[in-house]
Amino acid sequence: MIADVDAPSILTAATVGATFGYGLIWFILLLTVPLFLIQEASGRIGIATGKGLGEVIRTSYSKRLAVLASVPMATVDVVSYVAEYTGIAVGMGLVGIPPIVSMPVAYVAHIAVIRRRRSVSIQKILLVISTVLIISYAGSLFARGVSSSSILYFSTQPNYLFLLAASAGAVVMPFMLFYQASATAEKGGVKVWAMRTETLVGALASEIGMVVIVMATSGMNSSLNFADPKTLALALSSVAGRYAPYLFAVGLVAAAFLALVVISLASSWAVVEAMGWQDNRFFWVYVAESLPAVAIPIFYPDPLALVLNLMVVFVFILVGPGILMGKLTSDTKIMGKYVSSTRWKAAYWLSLASVLAFGIVAVVAAL
């Protein structure tokens, strides 16, 4: 849940709050439904098969299909890495460190964590820091007070439709699908009701976290143009004073690193599993996928704009893994007694289609 509220998600929620106040809270809360249903399908695959998504595809279908499936998986990895490294670039930029310096440093640090297999101990530290940032937003909201603004706002403005799609991409993160299946399978012996309960609690908690950020940043921007990161950091002034940019920067970097570790431990493995490669190739797959993520933020002039654009891209990237999971959970030979019921399938496909629809609307509006 905390990894799902990563740096791009925080930046998206902060931009939503600063631009439209409480107006999109209704939509963020509504996204709990597709978030739960899509993550639930991933967890149920882990329970039914005891395998990650990549291995399930490779052992259940043809080798050719497994190779084809590895393409959208690798695409998810690359775009996810770009989003997280850009989040780090935004955070480091707040304290005056340019991407040309911060990106290579972040890359070396991340490589070292994965290479030395120190991810578990690092995760604990990053979890604490990321949680502190969310608590700081809650404290800021408490200090400022809740306004009487309506949480229902509708508009056909391009920026409004764009942030709808960006919010959808920031909530239903594609890499979390791979993590959910693998993590559930690794636990072993998990009951469906327990997995569903955990997934629902996680979905609600992550969306409440997003809502808190939206509410805390409300009023930070006086125009419909997107605010810059320094303006977004002002939302933490009531709890951190003049150190608000530093708190925001540290929180963003920690949240991005936490998500990077989760991606490394999940979606990159899915590619290796789908291809049927030996486990020791995982590290080199990770290295290859990460290189574009280091280069792009260095040359892109506006990191925050890049983050928001990538969140819209996530909506479309979700389609590939989403369709694969829908087919897997509907296959009785693979799922056995855990196969989706007719009603559950209808809810799943409707949720996936709804998320995609927001992305299409945003693109059409932009054109």
Tens digits of residue pLDDT in 96-140: 999 999 999 999 888 888 777 666 677 778 888 888 888 999 999
Helix (H) or strand (E) holding 150: none
2 located within any domain? no
- Give the pLDDT confidence of 248-287 residue by residue, as tens digits: 999 999 999 888 887 766 666 666 776 666 666 667 777 7
CA atoms of 279 and 287, how far apart (whole Å): 14
282 located within any domain? yes
Q: Provide the number of structural domains found in the chain.
A: 1
352 located within any domain? yes
CA atoms of 182 and 160, how far apart (whole Å): 36
pLDDT of residue 117: 66
151 located within any domain? yes
Query: For residue 12, how far is the Cα from the chain centroid?
Result: 11
312 located within any domain? yes
* CB of 294 closer than 8 Å to CB of 45: no
The enclosing domain of 56 has a CATH number of: 1.20.1740.10
CA atoms of 236 and 74, how far apart (whole Å): 36
1 located within any domain? no
54 located within any domain? yes
* CB of 22 closer than 8 Å to CB of 318: no
48 located within any domain? yes
CA atoms of 166 and 140, how far apart (whole Å): 24
Token output for 94: 């707040």
Question: Structural domain of residue 201, as residue ranges?
Answer: 7-366
Token output for 87: 């989040």
